[in-house]
Structure 1
Amino acid sequence: MIGVAPPAYDPAAPTTATTLPVGAAATVRGYVAELFRRHRRAFLLLIGVNTVAVLASMVGPYLLGGLVERVSDGSRELYLGLTAGLFVLALAVQAVFVRQVRLRGAMLGERMLADLREDFLVRSVGLPPGVLERAGTGDLLSRITTDIDRLANAMREAVPQLAIGVVWALLLLGGLVVTAPPLAAAVLLAVPVLVIGCRWYFKRAPSGYRSEAAGYAAVAAALAETVDAGHTVEAHRLGARRVALSERRIKEWTAWERYTLWLRSVLFPVINAVHVIVLGSVLMVGGAFVLHGWIGVGQLTTGALLAQMLVDPVNLILRWYDEVQVAQVSLARLVGVRDIEPDAGDVSLAPDGRDVHADRVHFGYREGVDVLRKVSLEVAPGTRLALVGPSGAGKSTLGRLLAGIYAPRDGRITLGGAELSRMPAERVRSHVALVNQEHHVFVGSLRDNLLLARTGATDTELWAALGAVDADGWARALDDGLDTEVGSGGLALTPAQAQQIALARLVLADPHTLVLDEATSLLDPRAARHLERSLARVLDGRTVVAIAHRLHTAHDADVIAVVENGRISELGSHDDLVTADGAYAALWRSWHG
């Protein structure tokens, strides 16, 4: 049956559907070794209590073998009372330590799982923002949900159970060697069958499970993108196309599911055959040895019982090793973020001044397709620069480049003479901040949400920041003030209020250069205008790059840059550009009617 070809599946099923990498084997091994080093004491304690439990379980076969030996010799001194007492004592010790094995194993698994979750979160948050933006919703969701769920069972049970099974099997084999050495060789007759079957299975299983996980990620990505863009799909009548894509992804995923199921359907009969060979070889070889007088009946009894007991640890090892194969794929996807070089930058690089300069910048999201081309721009300290232009012209992309989120493909963007792409991310964030249209309210108090920007801020400073963005009115009306729980499970804030909290964080962070990408888009025009005037007082003296479709923002700016087709087509003040009667003047007339 091992020679049967795998069932037909679509060769187009993706082996990867991610932007974030899948961890290399060396990365996975290194992380597992690191986890064991962290929990070395707990792991050794688990091995210790498991050893006692297994040794206690071997007392019964040893006592029974001795009893059978004495009966076969015709001895009248059977010591039944002592034998029964020792057997009951061994059972009691085994029960106590088996409980400890389960308890210690569960504790070890939970601690390792907690470490894994925390490591993934910390590492992911530390990645450059541009990497996470390119990763895609489906990939991130599948890693943090499905892969964590798959790993949860492995961490809680598979790793501890594998350790238990290995120790169990080794001790039983050791006991077999000590009590009936000739029978230990009989057990080896099943080893070739087990090795061949397992090598066949585990040669195919990792790639199969990896493809299965990638297929699920592709399904999640297709469904998430369709739901997120539901209005666009409906408006452009793309429903049938998106359904066809989802069905194709599901078909590819289920093909890999069937393939991995087929692999298991081959492995399990092999395991059953191994159990039969082990017990049969021990009984037949042992029986022949007894007839020739090479071993006693008691040794055969003890050896047969120990061989039969090998069934459980072998099943345990293979069952949980199979689980680990599935988990290994998820673990590789989670620790894959470690293969991304950290954005350490040049720690010695620091800006000497506050002027921002873009020199012949090219940038694109895909190879060979540039969104920005030959963009050059100088922004003096304290300047209010407005980026305007039609949708899709590249305004937000240029804003992210000026904020240090992306690095240009060609050309340089500098802050105070220091190249932004070469500076450490933390240093960039201390000088430049980006506030866009996407705002998140974290679960916790209003105070905690604000302290994210500056952990040492006092309540007076928090209220001042809220006042600067016209949010102190509704915030003071809350029953618990700054202690009010917001976010999921707490007070549901409106999008406009969430936007004001994000802007209050900006005030608290106190960077000298700001990039505002439609930062007031969720407010109605009158409230947005009022808020921008309030912010103008707070932002006085700072360099501000504002990306907006509302041209009153451009009217108030010192300099306006018109972005068209990835280039800056016009640059100047509002009055100069209106007088020039070019692209900006046309936008202004259209906006004003």
Structure 2
Amino acid sequence: MSTIDTRVARRTLRTATGREATRWVVAHCREAPWLSTATVLTTVAGAALQVLPVLLLGKVVDGVVEGESRSVLVTIGVLVAAAALLGGAATAASTYLIGRLGAELLARLREGAVRAVLGMPSARIEQVGRGDVLSRAGDDVAVISKGIRTAIPTVFSAGVLVTIATAAMFGLDWRLGLAGAGALPAYALALRWYLPRSAPLYRKQRAAQADRAQALISGLDGIDTVRAYRLEGVFREKVTEESRRVRDLGIEVFRFFGRFVGRENRAEFIGLVLIIVVGYALIEAGAASLGEVSAAPLLFHRLFTPLGLIMFTFDEAQKSGASLTRLVGVLGEAADERLVGDPAVGSTGPAPLPVTVEGLTFVYPGSEEPVLRDIDLTIPAGGSLALVGATGAGKTTLAALIAGIGTPQSGSVRVGTTDLAGLDGAGARAMVSILTQETYVFSGPLADDLRLAAPQATDAELLDALRTVGAHAWVEELPEGLNTPVGEGGERLDVTKVAQIALARLVLGRAPVVVLDESTAEAGSEGAAELERAVLAACAGRTTLFVAHRLTQAMAADRIAVLDAGRIVEQGTHDELVALGGRYARLWQAWREGS
């Protein structure tokens, strides 16, 4: 939603279980068998070559004690050096391959999540709030990306090294192996204490960050209305409250991890003491050579170092795991069978139709208080209506319902003679196009970006749409015209140009009814004036509903409806409402003073 209503309880997108996330990773690793196999083999080889020099050093000690010739010792030294070099190369290759495999998995996960979100019914997106969606597509992807570069390669490589080093200790002497393994229960107890508590804590932290993002987005979306009604303090307090919750959870996570580190240090101490004591006893009893006993603490160090790395990076790994479950959870969301840009949607360009809202009442799930009450509205075919009112009055909710996003508990929304409640998401999009402040440019040629609304459109039709919204001049100046790459890695476009692209898509979509919710709010005053002219051109000949935060846009509409606390309290033209001296007149006065 573009406004904050503290009375509404939002639900969030699904979060997968750890088992579901693991199954997803395993399934996609099987789709890249050569890369997955090479990753495992280089990791095992690197770990084995790191352990080999320690075993050879034990041979050097025994060789010195037994008076072996210098040539034997030199040979062992050469083998140690060769093993160290090869081990470093194998470890580097392993790190690279793990990163590459992880990057491919992340790309597939991100693409799948984007497809799932694009395929969701619009009502579901509105229900959960953009903060949750954006935090998963943004923050969670960033967390996993960081984990792929750091924590995940470390944990995987260290885990393999722990296994091989432990096996090597048992190879020296089973009693030395048991002594080193004596630390493992302490490590296991530390992880057993840490894991059940950390995953929910990290998920709670990620959810708090999503709520903070929602608060920020909502406040910024309606900034003009917030200023006009002097509500800065209310929104500042909301953002401060959510930020404070994120900060407190961050402190809690830090303290929790500190306690975990203490348990990890205790396990290290136990293992080292056991190896020294058992090694001394074996030498005294003549049951082990000095070389074997000398190699054991070094092997334990090889065990100790990766275990410590696992412990210290588990914090980041847990964050990555929490983000992974959130992204995999998105894949499990029910998707609409037809996505935006379906060739059958909005391609016929029918004549404008009237919009009739009768007795509409809407309550969000989990809330007892209706956000809209007994709304009656009529927009004649080809006419325009502007919705104005304070933030939280229900403007965006009403706009969404008129666009077919969600179903009212009572009352109806009809386009022509068709009740939108009887249509699926694709059917509603064929009747009504909605344009909000959140306009995006996808990476790729500009023509492909425009054809999201009309896949069969010719280049001439694309240029006509751009000309309608006043964008043809700067498009013609692009290096490759319509084929110029835009978005990430392409031509940089300012907010005015991005909005013009969105309006051009609106023209190409050709739905008979158009809903515009804060569609020019991001541009500056000069850009907004230009976009308001583009909006009028794009909506010409269509039935149009504006959610107007710039009252200059409301003035341009045929009629204006004023919402307050979910009810329509005034309707009329701009001049009629100003003369009435009611809520709109006060809003107009505040707007003029603010401007």
Q: Does the Cα contact within 8 Å between 2:471 and 2:500 map onto a contact in 1?
A: no
Q: Does the Cα contact within 8 Å between 1:484 and 1:491 map onto a contact in 2?
A: no
Query: Which residue in the other structure is 2:13 paired with?
Result: 21
Q: Does the Cα contact within 8 Å between 2:361 and 2:410 map onto a contact in 1?
A: yes
1:453 corresponds to 2:456: no
Q: Does the Cα contact within 8 Å between 2:387 and 2:546 map onto a contact in 1?
A: no
Q: Alignment partner for residue 535 of structure 1, among 536, 540, 565?
A: 540
Q: Alignment partner for residue 249 of structure 2, among 253, 256, 259?
A: 256
Q: Does the Cα contact within 8 Å between 1:54 and 1:168 map onto a contact in 2?
A: yes
1:337 corresponds to 2:336: no
Query: Which residue in the other structure is 1:132 paired with?
Result: 125
Q: What does the per-residue CA deviation read over 1:121-166, in whole Å, with 9 as the maximum and x for residues that have no partner? A: 3322323333334444544454444333322221223222222111
Aligned to 2:463, what secondary structure does the other structure show? helix
Using the TM superposition, give the Cα deviation of residue 338 of structure 1 relative to its aligned residue in structure 2, in angstroms.
3.5
Query: Which residue in the other structure is 1:302 paired with?
Result: 295
Letter in 2 for 1:535: A
Using the TM superposition, give the Cα deviation of residue 200 of structure 1 relative to its aligned residue in structure 2, in angstroms.
2.0
Instruction: Describe the shift of the 1:145–1:73 C-alpha distance in structure 2 as closer, same or farther (beyond 3 A).
Output: same
Instruction: Describe the shift of the 1:301–1:327 C-alpha distance in structure 2 as closer, same or farther (beyond 3 A).
Output: same
Query: Which residue in the other structure is 2:99 paired with?
Result: 106
Equivalences for residues 223-242 of structure 1 within 5 A: 223-242=216-235
Q: Alignment partner for residue 276 of structure 1, among 266, 269, 275?
A: 269
Under a length normalisation based on structure 1, what TM-score does the superposition of the two structures give? 0.75
Using the TM superposition, give the Cα deviation of residue 421 of structure 1 relative to its aligned residue in structure 2, in angstroms.
5.0
Under a length normalisation based on structure 2, what TM-score does the superposition of the two structures give? 0.74
Q: Distance in 2 between matches of 1:262 and 1:34?
A: 36
Aligned to 2:433, what secondary structure does the other structure show? strand
Letter in 2 for 1:363: F
Q: Distance in 2 between matches of 1:103 and 1:494?
A: 38
Using the TM superposition, give the Cα deviation of residue 585 of structure 1 relative to its aligned residue in structure 2, in angstroms.
7.4
Instruction: Describe the shift of the 1:34–1:432 C-alpha distance in structure 2 as closer, same or farther (beyond 3 A).
Output: farther
Using the TM superposition, give the Cα deviation of residue 419 of structure 1 relative to its aligned residue in structure 2, in angstroms.
7.0
Q: Distance in 1 between matches of 2:51 and 2:572?
A: 92
Using the TM superposition, give the Cα deviation of residue 44 of structure 1 relative to its aligned residue in structure 2, in angstroms.
2.6
Q: For structure 2, list consecutive stretches of 5 or more residues without a partner in the other structure.
A: 1-8, 521-527, 548-552, 581-595
Q: What does the per-residue CA deviation read over 1:441-486, in whole Å, with 9 as the maximum and x for residues that have no partner? A: 627765444333223322222233345x364774687476546777
Q: Distance in 2 between matches of 1:243 and 1:375?
A: 31
Q: Does the Cα contact within 8 Å between 1:551 and 1:591 map onto a contact in 2?
A: no
Q: What does the per-residue CA deviation read over 1:393-450, in whole Å, with 9 as the maximum and x for residues that have no partner? A: 9776555434322223346667899875565534543x22314464736277654443
Q: Does the Cα contact within 8 Å between 1:437 and 1:517 map onto a contact in 2?
A: yes
Q: Distance in 2 between matches of 1:326 and 1:196?
A: 21
Using the TM superposition, give the Cα deviation of residue 168 of structure 1 relative to its aligned residue in structure 2, in angstroms.
0.9
User: How many residues of Structure 1 are paired with residues of Structure 2 in the alignment?
Assistant: 545
Query: Which residue in the other structure is 2:89 paired with?
Result: 96
Aligned to 2:540, what secondary structure does the other structure show? helix
Aligned to 2:142, what secondary structure does the other structure show? helix
Using the TM superposition, give the Cα deviation of residue 314 of structure 1 relative to its aligned residue in structure 2, in angstroms.
0.9
Query: Which residue in the other structure is 2:148 paired with?
Result: 155
Q: Distance in 2 between matches of 1:75 and 1:585?
A: 105
Q: Distance in 1 between matches of 2:518 and 2:200?
A: 46
1:464 corresponds to 2:464: yes
Query: Which residue in the other structure is 2:6 paired with?
Result: none
Query: Which residue in the other structure is 1:6 paired with?
Result: none
Aligned to 1:58, what secondary structure does the other structure show? helix
Instruction: Describe the shift of the 1:465–1:74 C-alpha distance in structure 2 as closer, same or farther (beyond 3 A).
Output: closer
Instruction: Describe the shift of the 1:258–1:318 C-alpha distance in structure 2 as closer, same or farther (beyond 3 A).
Output: same
Using the TM superposition, give the Cα deviation of residue 113 of structure 1 relative to its aligned residue in structure 2, in angstroms.
2.9
Q: Distance in 2 between matches of 1:172 and 1:22?
A: 40
Q: Distance in 2 between matches of 1:317 and 1:111?
A: 23
Aligned to 2:13, what secondary structure does the other structure show? coil
Query: Which residue in the other structure is 1:10 paired with?
Result: none
Moved more, 111-120 or 306-315: 111-120
Letter in 1 for 2:123: G
Aligned to 1:515, what secondary structure does the other structure show? strand
**Between the two proteins, what is the percent identity of the paired residues?**
25
Moved more, 483-492 or 60-69: 483-492
Aligned to 1:434, what secondary structure does the other structure show? strand
Larger radius of gyration: 1
Using the TM superposition, give the Cα deviation of residue 48 of structure 1 relative to its aligned residue in structure 2, in angstroms.
0.5
Moved more, 255-264 or 129-138: 129-138
Q: For structure 1, list consecutive stretches of 5 or more residues without a partner in the other structure.
A: 1-16, 570-582
Using the TM superposition, give the Cα deviation of residue 170 of structure 1 relative to its aligned residue in structure 2, in angstroms.
0.8
Equivalences for residues 429-440 of structure 1 within 5 A: 429=429, 431-436=430-435, 438=437, 440=439
Moved more, 210-219 or 162-171: 210-219
Letter in 2 for 1:258: I
Aligned to 2:150, what secondary structure does the other structure show? helix
Q: Distance in 1 between matches of 2:416 and 2:575?
A: 33
Root-mean-square deviation (Å): 4.7
Moved more, 246-255 or 174-183: 246-255
Q: Distance in 2 between matches of 1:274 and 1:458?
A: 69
Using the TM superposition, give the Cα deviation of residue 318 of structure 1 relative to its aligned residue in structure 2, in angstroms.
1.8
1:174 corresponds to 2:167: yes
Q: Does the Cα contact within 8 Å between 1:128 and 1:343 map onto a contact in 2?
A: yes
Using the TM superposition, give the Cα deviation of residue 23 of structure 1 relative to its aligned residue in structure 2, in angstroms.
0.8
Q: Distance in 1 between matches of 2:98 and 2:572?
A: 72
Moved more, 217-226 or 315-324: 217-226
